[in-house]
């Protein structure tokens, strides 16, 4: 997990691996909504919620925002490497 630079810790994200991001883009990119977002259902530990992933040109991958409620419930901190399950919906 990482904090979006310049936002004073307001936005926390996880980067989807580049290879998986490329598969997602090729398979579902034409279904993208505003800002290129794709709706997903995410599971981290016991937490499950619906959100969107967004393309990030700088990293050439999708990024997933992490809500404070999930970070707190799952004990996730800046710099942590975590396992996630993403289902496109």
Taking each continuous run of H as one helix and of E as one strand, the counts in the chain are: 2, 6
Which residues on neighbouring strands pair with residue 51, listed in sequence order?
A: 40
18-48: pLDDT as tens digits: 999 999 999 998 999 999 999 999 999 999 9
pLDDT for the residue 9: 63
- Chain-wide mean pLDDT for the chain? 93
Distance in angstroms (rounded) separating the CA atoms of residues 32 and 81: 27
Distance in angstroms (rounded) separating the CA atoms of residues 21 and 26: 9
Say yes or no to pLDDT of 68 above 70.
Answer: yes
Q: Could you tell me which CATH class the domain 2-88 is placed in?
A: mainly beta
């Amino acid at each position: 997990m990482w904090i979006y630079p310049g936002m004073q810790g307001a936005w926390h994200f996880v980067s989807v691996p580049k290879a998986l991001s490329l598969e997602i883009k090729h398979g579902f990119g034409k279904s993208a909504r505003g800002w290129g977002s794709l709706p997903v259902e995410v599971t981290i530990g016991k937490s499950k919620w619906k959100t969107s992933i967004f393309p990030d040109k700088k990293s050439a991958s999708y990024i997933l925002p992490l809500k404070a409620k999930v970070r707190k419930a799952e004990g996730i901190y800046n710099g942590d490497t975590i396992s996630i399950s993403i289902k496109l919906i």
